[in-house]
Amino acid sequence: MQRQEKISQVIVTAGQMRDIEDRIFAAGMPVVALMEKVAGLVARRIQEIPQIPCKKAGYVASNSLLKKGLPQAVGSRVGILVGPGHNGGDALVVARELHFRGYEVWIYSPFSKFKELTSQHLQYAQSLGIPIYQTIEQLPDSDLLVDGLFGFGLEKNLTDPIASAINQLNELSVPIYSIDLPSGLHTDTGVVLGTAIRATHTFCLGLWKLAFFQDPALEYVGKAELIDFDIPLADVEAVLKDAPSIKRITPTTALATLPLPRPPVTHKYKEGHLLLICGSRRYAGGAILTGLGARASGVGMLSIAVPESLKSLLVSHLPEALIIGCPETESGAIAQLQLPEKTDLTSFNAIACGPGLTRDATPIVQEVIESERPLILDADGLNILAQMGAIATLKKRLAVTVLTPHAGEFQRLFPDIADAKHDRVKAAQEAALQSGAVVLLKGARTAIANPQGAIWMITESTPALARGGSGDVLTGLLGGLLAQAATKQISVEDIVATAAWWHSQAGILAAQERTELGVDAFTLTQYLLKVLS
């Protein structure tokens, strides 16, 4: 794997980033040289982004700039927000570079004390005639603001006057580009520390910080991109080697196993046999959507256990599946599993259970939990598990368990674990450690944790998936992949992460072609295979 791909997967905490930088500086990299390099890359990206004009009266971009696609001219005014630390130093280098390239630049810095290097850059900016303002009321108009007030590692709540200034800056109708992290966000949890810059665009420096994948931060980071300034991979690996890994799932990692490899000579039972247990008279759609998700996975054999009254409906939608009609309760839930002759739960490579079941199917969930087959629990399967006592029940299982809760289901399953809405990474990690299950915590940024504490993050998604039935599709897709993986040498965690990535990419693709409002769960199933085409 190439260095750039490895770097793009890494996610670090503030403490880890600090340790990595310390290693770089201890090896002899001058702080001033690194600041020049990083800020130079940021200044270049600001010029490359099309919406930002880049010409002052009388300024003409050089031929070399034009050849590289940098926009030419038109009187752009850029305000640079400068903090007291090295993030402020980065911003001042950006100010200087944009000034030299013909932008009309001014600086806002309400602080009186600065780190030595930042103070030197401020002094030089002043010598160039760049205006410096200390109060928000003095600020002239601008076409763009560059936020360099605070970088990674901020932990205390911002207070006035800087908090009020940030609130006023957020009200301006201009784009704001943040350097490393929008000022005011906690680096690890993404929580807003009193108030925070609402960035249009954020340049994350060196390595991805954890905040970028926490739900509280998403409305503040805008469009995020990584500025790779060539951190040696050896330094990253040295710092992270003893800590549970936190990784982004990238297209490269996901597509490395998709479609799952098949030998030239094979047959349907060698490509996985999945049992879905889902649906009720009240929630027939859950069974259909779960089945369609499983169909898209390419699983060799698909069996679906539903109440007898749903059998003909399922056959009409999934004629290639084996539909197992089961005795049902008066309410239309599955009363007991009635598998085909000479078949029991050990006949399947994986079981997925829960969508549309209703809690009247509690005995069914208890039965599959007691089995020794890899098991995915979702929806009512999770709610029934919560009633049974999730941690104590799961610790008794002898096979792999995958849980796929949203935040509400998570809190019912793990009431003693910190609120998943505020630090989903830590919550998923703790739940997996305590239960021994692989936990897929759904959200705007899905987090997947294994019992060893490792984390995988799905870093792209779409609000289009916030519709009933989307989770059922994921359960079926994941079940089909897990059944296939059981016949191959692929880890469960990698399969879970790949399924979540595939599901989110189908939502993104569908939203692009149809708009976010046009992506119902059935439509989503039609886009799953398009992701791989």
Binding-site residues for AMP, in ranges, read 442-446, 471
Rounded Cα distance, 476 and 529, in Å: 14
Query: How many helices (H) does the chain have, and how many strands (E)?
Result: 20, 19
| Coil, strand or helix at 346 | helix
Residue 350 main-chain phi, psi, to 5 deg: -160, 155
**Residue ranges with strand state E in 318-390:** 322-326, 350-353, 375-377
Task: Indicate the annotated binding residues for (6S)-NADPHX.
Answer: 86-90, 151-157, 180, 356, 406, 472
* Omega of the bond leading into 259 within 30 degrees of 0 (cis): yes
Rounded Cα distance, 257 and 253, in Å: 8
Q: What is the DSSP string of 69-138?
A: T----S--EEEEEE-SSHHHHHHHHHHHHHHHTT-EEEEE---S---HHHHHHHHHHHHTT--EESSGGG
| Helix axes of 521-531 and 470-485: crossing angle, nearest 10 degrees | 40
Cα three-residue angle 108-113-118, rounded to 5 degrees = 70
Rounded Cα distance, 440 and 420, in Å: 12
Rounded Cα distance, 435 and 412, in Å: 14
Rounded Cα distance, 293 and 73, in Å: 51
Tokens of 431: 């739940």
Tokens of 308: 């007898």
State the Rg of the chain over Cα: 27
Question: First and final CA of the chain: distance in angstroms?
Answer: 23
| Coil, strand or helix at 531 | helix
Q: Within 10 Å of residue 75's Cβ, how many Cβ atoms?
A: 14
Contact 280, 357 (CB under 8 A): yes
Task: Indicate the annotated binding residues for K(+).
Answer: 87, 147, 183
Contact 491, 261 (CB under 8 A): no
**N residues, the chain:** 533
Cα three-residue angle 257-258-260, rounded to 5 degrees = 75
Backbone region of residue 369 per phi and psi (left: phi > 0; alpha: psi in -120 to 50; beta: other values): alpha
| Coil, strand or helix at 44 | helix
Task: Indicate the annotated binding residues.
Answer: 86-90, 147, 151-157, 180, 183, 356, 406, 442-446, 471-472
Tokens of 24: 């770089």
**Residue ranges with strand state E in 319-397:** 322-326, 350-353, 375-377
